[in-house]
Structure 1
């Protein structure tokens, strides 16, 4: 029976870089105590409260980003701000922390790890995309968030140019993004 549970978990984790949450497992009728048992046996690694990684899953450079989206209890977060720019790989940004958007109504009931920044914002479905299966704010929304957060103009201009050339921004969106960045240039922000 353990083999069948492990296979069920593998199937659940397949689209999540090897990660599974207690909520995902419960939806598949796998009780949380089974995850704890599998972690004790070494088949799962406990990443954070309610988030596990299947040990037999090959590691990926994007693992930490997927784990971050699964960290908020009860829902999947969306990567945003400079983290989203990094995931899109449209500029030379190197974020120091992982920015995660969750709905305004979501209450975080535990200490937020120092590597995460939680943004309470109600995103519309049209503002969310995925890169490599990882939920992320669309590039125009990402650029708008980064303008508001004070990300360097050079990096944002790079993001617009590369995003446009790669088809991540439509020409209309590129114009909007450029207009968002432009007032900063005249004000001397870099």
Structure 2
């Protein structure tokens, strides 16, 4: 478990099983205080400092619990599950958005009993994400698009855009994504109005 914790931080019971650690051993370690339960099926070592992202990391890992993080990172292995929208904006430090409820997008819908998670079905390309704290987070340009598609308040999206420009927004990439995004006429017009490039 120490080896698994060193490579994964938050880990799942399915990952532990791959390391030869049975579920009952994980349960006993948790009962003895050696592990902290983050979510059903996800843990971290008690001696590892807690992070405000622990819950989010656990939720993402539980979307494919047996895979190791490094196995999900390569382009060829990309499964399309990414932290997006308001949660991504919070992590990226753009706009005034809260970390939770957690927004996660995937090619298909996930069922979750976690009331703090909002899953959505939307296609996210691998080149539109970067791994931050071991989880895939949509890049700034993609995050802005998803904020509009999620129906966030346009004034909040405008604030996020302003912050993004200060941080070095790729305006051409944003324009490209707007042109490629399938959306309602209203959403398209909102994007074009909000994201008009400043000369």
CA contact (8 A) 2:148 2:191 kept: no
Structure 1 SS opposite 2:137: strand
Give the CA deviation at 1:101. Answer: 2.1
CA spacing shift, 1:66–1:107, aligned 2, 3 Å: closer
Give the CA deviation at 1:50. Answer: 1.6
Aligned length: 174
Alignment correspondent of 1:170: 170
Cα distance in 2 for partners of 1:154, 1:177 equals: 20
Superposed CA deviations along residues 50-100 of structure 1, whole A, max 9, x for unmatched, are 211211101223323323322325367421111111111111123551111
TM-score calculated relative to the size of structure 2: 0.72
Equivalent of 1:49 in 40, 56, 61: 40
Q: CA RMSD in A?
A: 2.9
Equivalent of 2:24 in 33, 37, 59: 33
TM-score calculated relative to the size of structure 1: 0.75
* Correspondence 1:9 to 2:4: yes
- Write out aligned runs for 1:72-83 (5 A): 72-74=63-65, 77-83=81-87
CA spacing shift, 1:95–1:45, aligned 2, 3 Å: closer
> Which runs of 4 or more aligned residues in structure 1 lie more than 4 Å from their structure 2 counterparts after TM superposition?
174-182
CA contact (8 A) 2:89 2:95 kept: yes
Unaligned runs of 5+ in 2: 70-80, 182-186, 194-199
Unaligned runs of 5+ in 1: 1-5
